[in-house]
Amino acid sequence: MQFAAVLPSFGPPARDPAAAERLRDVAVAADELGYHVLFAPEHLIYPQTIGTPYPYGGRFPYDVTDPVLDVVTTLAWVAAATRRVRLGASVMVLPYREPIALAKALATLDVLSGGRVMLGFGSGWLREEFDLLGVPFRERGARMDEYLAALRALWTEERVTFRGRWVRIEDAAFFPKPVQKPHPPLWIGGASPAAFRRVARLGDGWLAVPKRPEDLATDVAAIRKAAEAAGRDPAAIGIAASGGARSVAELVDRLPALERAGATIVTVPALFWAPTVPGAIELMAEFARRVGLAPR
């Protein structure tokens, strides 16, 4: 089992020029404590009022005036301050992005970080954000599937030709290619049946929303069943989860159940447990000691 930490790239910790220092402090601490992955979330733009129901229960938990730093820029910043920890997106909303420019940015990040990129993509849920970006909400699933295929083509083909509904590339040269071969791992987020099928068909792993282990096990079983139907080895699909715990002690207690449920990466949401970034780093260190992470 591996462990991940969340970067303070959103909300109040990202609100002023000290955000750069906070990001560096969390990233360096995670790297030195032996964490395996750092995750950064994404929203590009908010409406003033959110009318779309939040799909993960209750109200949307953030204020629309809270900043969310750009994922690729943030990960590039922390890549320069770290040596080993993987650089994860959890998640980028792929239908928002023009795939050629995104492929270039992510390949560059993989090259400059020495092959540490771990991509997390989702189809999105906030209809008003799609409207502001001029992307039809009803097309989000089809766009995501096509954009994933386009990214793979750009990253793996020496002479790139791709003919899709929204992306058309004819006999192009695209370099650099990512360091990781055939490309950085592609993890898929989402909690809908359509998301589970996409993980089963296309994903190297699933980025789960916070859930208790027994609920996680049910979803993992559905993904594994869909993977078998798609002719894939279910055991080859990773599962990243946080277990819905509210403290270090509770998360440590849930680790055996999370492992039985299928989790291969457990996210430690210390930023949600502590009122300050230094407090979150202390909790990250406490968790690392309790599970025996090897300091680097």
**How confident is the model at residue 58, as a pLDDT?**
77
89 in any annotated domain: yes
CA distance 150 to 246: 39
Residues 6+ apart with CB under 8 A from 129: 43, 44, 45, 46, 47, 93, 96
**How confident is the model at residue 104, as a pLDDT?**
98
- Helix (H) / strand (E) containing 252: helix 248-261
Whole-number average pLDDT of the chain: 96
The model scores a pTM over 0.85:
yes
CA distance 258 to 242: 9
270 in any annotated domain: yes
Q: Tokens standing for 227?
A: 């993977």
163 in any annotated domain: yes
CA distance 5 to 35: 7
Q: Would you say residue 135 has pLDDT above 90?
A: yes
In 3D, which of 150, 194, 191 has the Cα closest to residue 174? 150
71 in any annotated domain: yes
Q: Would you say residue 159 has pLDDT above 80?
A: yes
How many other C-beta atoms lie within 10 A of the C-beta of residue 161? 11
Domain range for 234:
2-291
* Number of separate domains in the chain: 1
- Helix (H) / strand (E) containing 197: helix 193-202
68 in any annotated domain: yes
**How confident is the model at residue 210, as a pLDDT?**
85
Predicted confidence (pLDDT) per residue in 3-58, tens digit: 999 999 999 999 999 999 999 999 999 999 999 999 999 999 999 999 999 988 77
CATH (domain of 162): 3.20.20.30
Sign of CA dihedral 90, 92, 94, 100: negative
222 in any annotated domain: yes
Sign of CA dihedral 3, 91, 213, 203: negative
Q: Would you say residue 117 has pLDDT above 90?
A: yes
- Paired strand residues for 239: 206
Q: Would you say residue 296 has pLDDT above 90?
A: no
**How confident is the model at residue 57, as a pLDDT?**
78
Radius of gyration from C-alpha coordinates of the chain: 19
274 in any annotated domain: yes
CA distance 218 to 171: 44
CA distance 291 to 84: 19
Is-cis flag, bond preceding 176, omega within 30?
A: yes
- Helix (H) / strand (E) containing 55: none
**How confident is the model at residue 209, as a pLDDT?**
87
296 in any annotated domain: no
Q: Would you say residue 109 has pLDDT above 80?
A: yes
